[in-house]
Structure 1
Amino acid sequence: MQDMERASIRARRMRASILTSHNDLSKAKEVSVNIDGNVYYNSKTDDGSKIWNRMPYSFHLTINIEQFVKNNFQFEQELDFNEFINQANKNTKITNKLADDVWKANFNVSSKPFNLRGAKNEVIILRFDFTNISIDDTTKGKQYEHTLFNCTFKVNLNGLKHREFQDEYDYEGFKQRYYYDFRTINCQAYWLDEEKIEFSTRHHDVFHQPNVRPKDSLENIDVSFSKLACEKTCVDELKQLLNQLNERAAEYDSRINISITNEFQPRMDNREVTWKERMANVNHFKEVIKLFEKGVDILETDKDARISFNMMNDAFDDYYSSRGIPGASWRLFQIVFIVAGLRSIVREEDLDIVDVLHVGTGGGKSEAYFGLVIMTLFFDRIKGKKNGVTAIVKFPLRMLSIQQLERLACVIIFAEEIRKKYLMLFGGDEFSLGYYVGNQTMDFPGTYSELRCNLYKDKEFKDIIEPAPISKIISKCPLCDIKDPGIIRQIDDIQGKRVLQVCDKVNSHRFYIYLSDRELFRYRPSIIVSTVDKWAGLTQQRRARALLGAKGSMCPNGHGFIPCGDKCEDKSEEGICEEIGLDEETADGPILSIQDEMHLLREGFGTISSHFEGIIEEVVKANSSGRSLKHVVMSATLNGTDRQVFELYNKKAAILPGPSPEGFGSERDFFYTLLPGENRIIYGLKPNLRDNHYASLRTLRHIIEYLSNAQSSYADDSSTFMNDFGFSNEKDVLREFMNHLIPLTYHPKVQDAEDMNRFTNTVINDYLGSKGYLEGTVLTGGRGLDELKDTINNVRDTVEKYNITEQIKPNAIYSSLYATSVVSHGVDLEELNLMVFQGIPYSTSEYIQALSRVGRKYRGIVILWFYPNRVRDDSFYRNFKRYHDTLDHAVKPVPINRTARLGTMQTINSIFCAGILQYLSELQGSPIYHKKHIVDLKISQEKLLVKFIRNVYGRPVEINIEEEVEARLNQIKYDSNSNDNTFFPNILVNSGNHYFRNQSGMRGIQKQLILDAYDPDQIKKIWVGK
């Protein structure tokens, strides 16, 4: 390999380096090296066909240190392969006699000075290189294979002392140190003994991820749903929890010596952190306690809050009991987060602070915000809110987590059952759920008429489909017996112009889950689940103000809510209704805004999203007597959180539960515990001569072969199998087979995932023979909700119905999933525990999310095939263990700038239109959407619009807002190509000015580049530099 070919697909050199010093080197006598590997040559079989013969080689070298020093710290020896060449040539069936130089390699040891922080003696880096120097035959039909295969070398230092490499870096403003023993190229290195005298290279590395899990119990503390559902005991239990939090804080304080002089704490494993960071984390822990204490005080002194809290716990208890999990409990961080949030829900305090729930993937973030949402629903109702939106839950991706949607829907259903029991306390409309998602898809269409098309065979809506289609969100009735549930079907409510979800066994099990935009505007669901992009519709859809607390009235014909001054329905396909919405106070706008996966709101997407967050905030404030939204955000990966929150929401951040002062999962960590075993075992490999797509396919083939052989071995002799692999009972063996029954692969590009399916037969099934047959399913963002749901159900059913007797039969069917990044946020299955990566994802945040698809309940196994010809992948391969040991610290701060000039220029038109459609229309008491309405605007309204836009941005921006507003108003008023009834945003679009367009989404800066023919002579001048 040439010296710079570090990322070549055919590596010709491997290197392992250690640190030592001149002083230590002068005391050593020798270093011994053993080199091993294989070579291949061709021979003929009896029928004349060619086969490859494998022949092992081995060399032993002794490096005299004194001579090494005299030779200017250089040692080089060419390895003599003649012995092996002669041995091969003795084979009478060899195809061609091997030439003397068919295999050539050398072993080199060199050194150079190394700057090691804090070292007293001169440190040097000692490099051990094994290089293939044979000249490869590139001609077609080459006679010899010059590659050296499976090369490894072992180095015995024979007492030579070594030093550790040391990395120092910053994370969240605090210094970090990390120590490690080796630097490598095209290989990995590890110690063969605890004394670190001898090391060896290998071609893979492995990382055992600690099994750190959230705590769900403490001694003498009961935070079960049933306990906290009791009005008499809930406050006492929370006070006991508060006492333990305070005791732990005091314990943290007592373990810090105020007279400390060292900057860093004593080293733990390979890491050092500063005392400054530890003290900051103790202070943060105390701040979390204060927030929790406020919530406990609210529950003790506010009866309405306490009853709402009890009802919320009752709903969760019923939900989990229905799933066969009686006595279920909150995890400690979940109940602390919910109770801490009460200060904003009940007392409307800290609305200028964003609560950031930072918990590892699979830790239970969703249930935590579910709890806060349900608590808020009950509290809104007990305080007199009869209808309207209470909470908005936003996802950054178009493909939502179907399981998260299903769980949320079920919890709301059980909350509604409790509400119906106590109608005197919680009056008003049913608790309902709406999905404000996508871009006019069949899953979530824009209109009710489009949605009901799925329920009929004909376009005239006369011939209904029987049985009715199954619900897209929840297919089995959560209120029925879990052993024999009814099927939830979509039923057309013609009078109400909506589609209801109804159990086909118990007709009274009716659920109010809305999937079309029109249904949401009519029925203003209690909770809205949406994608971030969907709120770009505020710039085009005048009825969207209904979701944000608009005044209005209910249609007397039973069609739902009508915003004040607007028509009930003006679309013929929806069924025109001329009723006008009255100017009546209905309900305030939502109080909760919950953002999942905050780390994905970045760059242009984040900037544009921040402006639409400003629109929502300002409209809600105007409709809710000046009360702001309470923002809650969640992410498993954070860095630079304060700045990202400030740029997104123009508010401060409070992180819960926050970092443990003594380390994540440490003995005194209050919220997490370290369990025996691993959470995941992660293997890192780099293929040679083949790409990692082919390597991923071959990996699946060997997985199926191994599973088939292992199951057969167990079926033949279970006792021997259990003894060989350390199993204590048959149940554990079958569980292990089930855990790895369905491998999941991850691919950076859609085409790679599709190609996995295309090559499954060629690379896998054609070689498996009778051992099995693999069927793959592709999961990408282009798949619909039904496909994703079917895939999830198939995975569950396959594992649940696993039968080893069937699985060991010839040609047994195996399944696999080939997925892109959609799997990182759309699939949460404990049945998936085996994963293959084709290359490292483009960001650490995405990698952490993808990793968490396996090992959610049982130990996960991950095989990561790096791209062999990409420098970035090669860097991660060489630093494999370091990277995984500090994975959270490798998350990069999110780049986002709320006031970026290009961003403000991009959104000014959208804010202008939204300000008129959502804000001025509400103030006026009638919709403003035609040209004639703009012409009639008063100067005072125009000034209010300028103020609205300024408040949306929240800070000074580099554009003149007054001039931008005036330019657009003039464009609309004096446009000669439109009439009085033209929709005014369309006039702006047709003006030809790029910045007079609305955002159709939020995915970055939307500016078209126009390519035009260029003068060839001018191009020539540019290229020749004239």
Structure 2
Amino acid sequence: MATGISLEEESPADDERIARHLRETVLKQVRGDIDERVKRDFPSDRFFAGALAPESEDQLDDPDDDLQSKMEPNGLGATVRIRGGEEGDVLTLTVNASVWVRVNPTYEEMVNRDSFVALGDRDDDDEGDSLLPVFERIPLEVPPIKIPAEVLQTPTRNTPEVIRDRTQEAFEKAFSSARAHARENYDLYVETEEDDTVPPAALEDEESFRDYLSERAAGGTSALPEWHATLAVEVMADEENDDDSTIVDFEIANEALQSREDAIYTVRDPTLFEVGLELETSGDLEFVPFTFDPLPEDFRYNRDLWGHGRNCTITAPERNDQEVDEEGIPPGRRAPSAMPTATRLETQFIPEYRQLVYESADRNVDATFETLADLDDGGLDLLDDISTEMRRYLSEEYDAALQQYRQRDDWDDDPETGDLADFNEDRAAFEREIKRFERGIQCLREHPETVGRAFELMNEAMDRMHQFPGWRLFQLVFIIMEVPDVASREYDQWNEVSWRNGSTEDRAEDADSALDIVDVLWFPTGGGKTEAFLGVAVWSMFFDRLRGKDFGVTAWTKFPLRLLSLQQFQRMTETVMYADLVRREQSDIGSHPSRPFSMGYLVGKANTPNALTGYDNNNHQRYQGPSGEDLRREAKVVPSCPACGSDIEVRITDDDHRLTHCCTASSFDCPWQSRSITSSEPYGEEELPVHVVDNELYRYAPTIIAGTIDKITAIGYQRKFAHLITGEMDLECPIHGFASLGECTEKYGCPIDKDEFSDMARPVEPYDPAPSLMVPDELHLLEESMGSFDGHYETGVAELQDLVEAGTTKVIAPTATITGFEDQVHNLFMRPAERFPSPGPYLRENFYAQERAETQRYYIGLVPHGKTHINSIIDLLFYYHREVQNLFREALENPNQVLTGAVFEGSDTTTPLEADSIDEVLALLSYYSTSITYLLSKKDGDRLDQSIVSQLDTYLQKDGRPPLASERMTGGTGFETIMEVLDIVEDPWDEDADKQILNRLIDRGVLEEDVSDSVLSLRSTLENSLDEENEVVGSDQFDSERASATEDTREALAWLLASRLNTITATNMIAHGVDVDRFNMMTFFGMPRGTAEYIQASSRAGRSRPGLVFNVAHPIRERDLSHYHFFEKYHAFLDRLVEPVPINRWAKNSVKQTHPGLFMGLILNHYMYREGAGNLYFGDQAEKFADSVDERELRQQMLGMFGDPNDHEEFKGDIEDLTKEALSQLRLDDDQWTSGRIKRSPMRSLRDVDEQLPIRSEYRYREIFETLDNR
């Protein structure tokens, strides 16, 4: 079957061949293209892709025929555009299909009937004493149908007679041939008046069974289906074009009738399988494309759509967008085809898209950490070389691309409004990047002792930490671009934005300073965005220390999802620790007053405690001793030491009340523990510089804070948040860290008397206190109400910083979608935005990265017909994991067959594998042993998990195979479980875990107990042979032991390797930040609601190996079917079809939600720090404040908190009214607490949107009704 995918490499890599084999094996099973008999199932119950169902006699009067046509369609159609043609030219239509006929079972099949797996959705009516249903496949040989060109040039709603006659003749000939083939080659099942009960005597031996079948055949007739198909053709005028083209619709339909008895008793199955159409023109007759309208006009895009399919898609093999050209250039690195016509079209009922690798380009420069760690000795020269290459690319590559585009018939060369204008705009954007990069180099040169040295130290830290040698181009250029912007906090001359001048782009906003600009960092998932902004952060850390900022927050990174924040926190912790080791070696910043670099995890009490001491807070006791072990384990956010890999133990300290992460290795084995420490720093030898308790963050102001986006709401209820965002710290407790307002931040646990605290604490004066950087990661997730609320809080924080002249924080915003980025940034931050990198001259090439002709992942579209959605998912998982088990077993039993490539399907090659030994192949197979099923709802997950146990495990057990080992990863899964699951998948070589798997397989009867020891021994040899550091045990020893092991031992090892955690059901919580190389098969339980979510989720598969992504559309959801019908085109332009982020900071009712928090934030984190303000947590103090405050000034400040909405009068009026009302409530209410006097409580989360109701007891109905009236 044609796939629509070019697979023409002479010798694909081994992992590519494995992926193709698994893909081909699974797809054969779902479409029916198999060389085996179907047993127990009706073929239409098993093969759910590409089948056209017959009309059912008991459904002819079904009023819901539209639903039925979607679940079990009987037609497949193609609407195409045809142009030209002279007398004698023809369109040749070829129908491809297959049918299945019922045959008698063999004696062996009857005896072993219980071992055959039935996958049908129907109730199992297959009684043990009846004749086993067995079916054989017959390819239909439909003669090509020649259609004269002139017939296709005259519009008609009815099928022209010449087509009808030729079609009828072709189908009759094909069906007659199939019947003759069946009678001649198969022992056909005979329908008799008797039932199918087989007498016991007939099963005594094979001869008795043959006699029984002979006697039975004499009393009946062969049960051959009455196949019947039609082809309808409608010709329509092409109203969109002025040429001589017409629109022609072809539809093949299964017109056979199936009786109820046939359907129930699996007698006849007149379904047509693997149905497809091929259309080919001759002479001047040709196909011309439609336009794929969802894709916006752009000179880079090929918007040609070769037809509209029904229950299929339509491709033009000769115009395959996925092919590499004669020079080896992939499609993303060249201009689209200049002459969009075709002479051959095909329908595809399983559409596929092969996404190619998009990787960093080197551009003849080697950006190593080592070179860049010494600017004078090669580092600056390297940066100058990059600048030269950028200039060369700007002049040469853009000109070459323009020449290609001008060869297109549809190119518009108007420099003002045409394609040329867009091309020049993008070229100008790249030129701005060059100017910014050169500006960064100049900044390094002009400030070698601070800016330049910080850059060198950052590269030194990266060199020590990473196993790879250097930066990707886009990372390095981005870091250098950001350097002068952040340096402008110290050196004013770099605050200018002259590099923005001369742009042809319409600006949403002008920029007053470099720090105002939000740099939106867009790069495909897995491309290295995290390392890019971490590079900026680490440079900023060193820069802060070198310029005299000895403590305080340098960077605040915020994540929409807790799992994302946890994984990124672990990566950042490793980075910060290596950076601190480098810092300690510097004579000027290596010791006091320069503080250690540290990390803070700010996520809230649902994950880590807000405080260990406090009023009515006994957390310090709860986390102590054996009884607190579970709590301490739950608070662990770094599972292993980043420096040495040893386990981490969470401990609680008695003196300074901290929850610490401690490395359990000895100081001899851990480079972190062997560092030189002083008594002035808070961390013991074994402690990581990590803070996970909110109050600890306020006490130590960690260098980098990582947490959830929701914690920004803390400004509305926690006055100590000012320690982090505006540096409102003036004292340092000798025991508990930074403090303010004359009291210890850990006052409930501090032994120093409050009256003596100011005298005993050391005065401190923060330098340039606001964070230099803020990184809202996954910007595209800040949408709708959460985005609106966050936007208010973002400008609220900026206003608090501006009020005390704490400095402007630079915002770097990594995102998965670039669609409408300026509008989103405006709504969130009220700032201008720049995109990096800018679009290159081609669709998938710019200076920094380019497409490579190797597979990243295969996207495969399926719509289940005749089978429920969930059961089609179960079938896919069954076929996939069964084949993975087969490959493990084959590799251990017949290694030569595997190494020669003989067992692998799906690749047009007969060359051997690249692997020299079978242990290498086993290691590769392990990358494909785990599948993920992506769920759209928790309810789907509950159903699927139940089906895996009740159905899938039964299928495998009947086949003598091990069951699947499944886990869930949803929003309700705990941190510890998530990390355990990821650890198991990332590193499956755990001897204790493997012993448990073996015991489980023995308990279930899959393995015999006596193979346990031999399997574990062979497994140990395999692990050692794959260990690159083990020089004793090699591939030869493993192969020798494998060959001498028993067959049972080899099979047991195969089952063990295939039975490690191998299937995961997950929701969108894995769509971000789960970076695991062993996730290479993914199934979608329907189409996600947004394209951005789909991109993020599907990119979990195929990160380092070719991945398989099966998108199983729901057959009755219109959105799913729309994506299916445009499958190839949709996936070719996924990034460009992301929906704009829906966000409106001026939403009518949003101000009511956020005003209380911003009002309280202004009071607690600004006014409370004014001299003589008092404790504004208390209502009586707030009342005095309300009486004395300058109301006009406060109203202006509140408008500033919301971003100065001067152009939104109604919104502005609401803010002023709510502020006036809040001040009135502070004066008139008598609640003890300030927050209690305000009508609405401050938000505790950006997701906190439910209306809050006061709850109190009342004795009279009147008070109750008054309360309700005043809501």
TM-score interval, smaller chain: 0.7 to 0.9
Residues 263 and 953 (structure 1 numbering): CA distance in 2 closer, same or farther, change over 3 Å?
farther
Are 1:239 and 2:384 counterparts?
yes
Who is 1:286 aligned against? Answer: 431
Structure 1 distance, partners of 2:155, 2:390, is 64
2:1179 is aligned with what amino acid? K
1:925-1004, aligned counterparts within 5 Å?
927-937=1175-1185, 939-954=1188-1203, 955-956=1205-1206, 957=1208, 958-959=1210-1211, 960=1213, 961-976=1215-1230, 978=1231, 982-989=1232-1239, 996-1003=1240-1247
Deviates more, 1:672-681 or 1:999-1008: 999-1008
Who is 1:112 aligned against? Answer: 236
Who is 1:371 aligned against? Answer: 535
2:807 to 619, 622, 627: 627
1:20 to 82, 87, 92: 82
Please say if residues 471 and 501 of structure 1, whose CA atoms lie closer than 8 Å, have aligned partners that are also in contact.
Answer: no
2:652 to 488, 492, 495: 492
1:430 to 588, 596, 601: 596
1:338 to 448, 470, 479: 479
Who is 1:11 aligned against? Answer: 73
Please say if residues 1086 and 1111 of structure 2, whose CA atoms lie closer than 8 Å, have aligned partners that are also in contact.
Answer: yes
Deviation at 1:879, TM superposition (A): 0.7
Structure 1 distance, partners of 2:404, 2:864, is 53
Deviation at 1:778, TM superposition (A): 0.4
Structure 1 distance, partners of 2:251, 2:231, is 7
Q: Residue deviations 1:134-153, cap 9 Å, x none?
A: 36749995776666142413
Please say if residues 542 and 918 of structure 1, whose CA atoms lie closer than 8 Å, have aligned partners that are also in contact.
Answer: yes
Are 1:301 and 2:446 counterparts?
yes
Please say if residues 725 and 797 of structure 2, whose CA atoms lie closer than 8 Å, have aligned partners that are also in contact.
Answer: yes
Are 1:389 and 2:553 counterparts?
yes
Deviates more, 1:816-825 or 1:468-477: 468-477
1:722 to 873, 890, 899: 899
Deviation at 1:72, TM superposition (A): 3.4
Which ranges of structure 2 fall in alignment gaps of 5 or more residues? 1-54, 56-63, 111-128, 196-219, 320-340, 413-417, 490-494, 496-513, 668-672, 674-684, 905-910, 995-1018, 1023-1041, 1043-1048, 1255-1271
Who is 1:92 aligned against? Answer: 190
Deviation at 1:332, TM superposition (A): 0.5
2:954 to 749, 754, 766: 766
SS of the equivalent of 1:14 reads strand
1:700-715, aligned counterparts within 5 Å?
700-715=877-892
Q: Residue deviations 1:789-815, cap 9 Å, x none?
A: 111111122169895767842743242
1:537-686, aligned counterparts within 5 Å?
537-566=714-743, 568-569=745-746, 571=748, 585-587=765-767, 588-623=769-804, 625=805, 627-665=807-845, 669-686=846-863
Please say if residues 789 and 1154 of structure 2, whose CA atoms lie closer than 8 Å, have aligned partners that are also in contact.
Answer: yes
Residues 918 and 580 (structure 1 numbering): CA distance in 2 closer, same or farther, change over 3 Å?
farther
Deviates more, 1:873-882 or 1:580-589: 580-589
Deviation at 1:561, TM superposition (A): 1.6
Please say if residues 42 and 53 of structure 1, whose CA atoms lie closer than 8 Å, have aligned partners that are also in contact.
Answer: yes
Residues 737 and 4 (structure 1 numbering): CA distance in 2 closer, same or farther, change over 3 Å?
same
1:850-889, aligned counterparts within 5 Å?
850-889=1097-1136
Please say if residues 1077 and 1104 of structure 2, whose CA atoms lie closer than 8 Å, have aligned partners that are also in contact.
Answer: yes
Deviation at 1:106, TM superposition (A): 2.1
SS of the equivalent of 1:774 reads coil
2:936 is aligned with what amino acid? P
Residues 966 and 679 (structure 1 numbering): CA distance in 2 closer, same or farther, change over 3 Å?
same
1:884-899, aligned counterparts within 5 Å?
884-899=1131-1146
Are 1:72 and 2:196 counterparts?
no
Please say if residues 547 and 589 of structure 1, whose CA atoms lie closer than 8 Å, have aligned partners that are also in contact.
Answer: yes
Are 1:360 and 2:610 counterparts?
no
1:1001 is aligned with what amino acid? S
Percentage of identical aligned residues: 23
1:276 is aligned with what amino acid? A
Structure 2 distance, partners of 1:511, 1:55, is 65
Structure 2 distance, partners of 1:616, 1:500, is 29
Residues 647 and 744 (structure 1 numbering): CA distance in 2 closer, same or farther, change over 3 Å?
same
Please say if residues 551 and 585 of structure 1, whose CA atoms lie closer than 8 Å, have aligned partners that are also in contact.
Answer: no
Who is 1:526 aligned against? Answer: 703
Who is 1:347 aligned against? Answer: 488
1:312 is aligned with what amino acid? M
Deviation at 1:276, TM superposition (A): 2.7
Please say if residues 738 and 799 of structure 1, whose CA atoms lie closer than 8 Å, have aligned partners that are also in contact.
Answer: no
Structure 1 distance, partners of 2:885, 2:875, is 15
SS of the equivalent of 2:852 reads strand
Residues 945 and 423 (structure 1 numbering): CA distance in 2 closer, same or farther, change over 3 Å?
farther
Structure 2 distance, partners of 1:140, 1:516, is 65
SS of the equivalent of 1:37 reads strand
Please say if residues 568 and 579 of structure 1, whose CA atoms lie closer than 8 Å, have aligned partners that are also in contact.
Answer: no
Are 1:128 and 2:251 counterparts?
yes
Please say if residues 71 and 1116 of structure 2, whose CA atoms lie closer than 8 Å, have aligned partners that are also in contact.
Answer: yes
Deviates more, 1:706-715 or 1:645-654: 706-715
Structure 2 distance, partners of 1:388, 1:558, is 18
Are 1:747 and 2:845 counterparts?
no
Please say if residues 522 and 559 of structure 1, whose CA atoms lie closer than 8 Å, have aligned partners that are also in contact.
Answer: yes
1:34 is aligned with what amino acid? V
Please say if residues 744 and 750 of structure 2, whose CA atoms lie closer than 8 Å, have aligned partners that are also in contact.
Answer: no
1:628 is aligned with what amino acid? T
Deviation at 1:762, TM superposition (A): 2.5
TM value normalised by structure 2: 0.71
Who is 1:1017 aligned against? Answer: none
Deviation at 1:397, TM superposition (A): 1.6
Deviation at 1:737, TM superposition (A): 0.7
Deviates more, 1:785-794 or 1:71-80: 71-80
Please say if residues 754 and 778 of structure 1, whose CA atoms lie closer than 8 Å, have aligned partners that are also in contact.
Answer: no
Who is 1:1018 aligned against? Answer: none
Who is 2:510 aligned against? Answer: none
Deviates more, 1:101-110 or 1:387-396: 101-110
Who is 1:1019 aligned against? Answer: none
Deviation at 1:882, TM superposition (A): 0.6
1:335 is aligned with what amino acid? L
Structure 1 distance, partners of 2:398, 2:1096, is 34
Please say if residues 570 and 578 of structure 1, whose CA atoms lie closer than 8 Å, have aligned partners that are also in contact.
Answer: no
Are 1:445 and 2:609 counterparts?
yes
Who is 1:786 aligned against? Answer: 976
Are 1:902 and 2:1149 counterparts?
yes
Deviation at 1:621, TM superposition (A): 2.5
Please say if residues 236 and 247 of structure 2, whose CA atoms lie closer than 8 Å, have aligned partners that are also in contact.
Answer: yes
Residues 808 and 139 (structure 1 numbering): CA distance in 2 closer, same or farther, change over 3 Å?
closer
1:31 to 89, 92, 117: 92
Please say if residues 470 and 487 of structure 1, whose CA atoms lie closer than 8 Å, have aligned partners that are also in contact.
Answer: no
Structure 1 distance, partners of 2:990, 2:1079, is 12
Please say if residues 359 and 636 of structure 1, whose CA atoms lie closer than 8 Å, have aligned partners that are also in contact.
Answer: yes
- Which one has a larger percent strand, Structure 1 or Structure 2? 1
Of structures 1 and 2, the larger Rg is shown by 2
2:280 is aligned with what amino acid? L
1:107 is aligned with what amino acid? L
Please say if residues 838 and 864 of structure 1, whose CA atoms lie closer than 8 Å, have aligned partners that are also in contact.
Answer: yes
Residues 523 and 573 (structure 1 numbering): CA distance in 2 closer, same or farther, change over 3 Å?
closer
Deviation at 1:628, TM superposition (A): 1.3
TM value normalised by structure 1: 0.87
Structure 2 distance, partners of 1:553, 1:656, is 39
Deviation at 1:514, TM superposition (A): 0.9
The total of aligned residue pairs comes to 975
Structure 1 distance, partners of 2:764, 2:1174, is 12
Structure 2 distance, partners of 1:985, 1:138, is 73
Structure 1 distance, partners of 2:816, 2:623, is 46
Deviation at 1:367, TM superposition (A): 0.5
2:865 is aligned with what amino acid? N
Structure 1 distance, partners of 2:476, 2:434, is 12
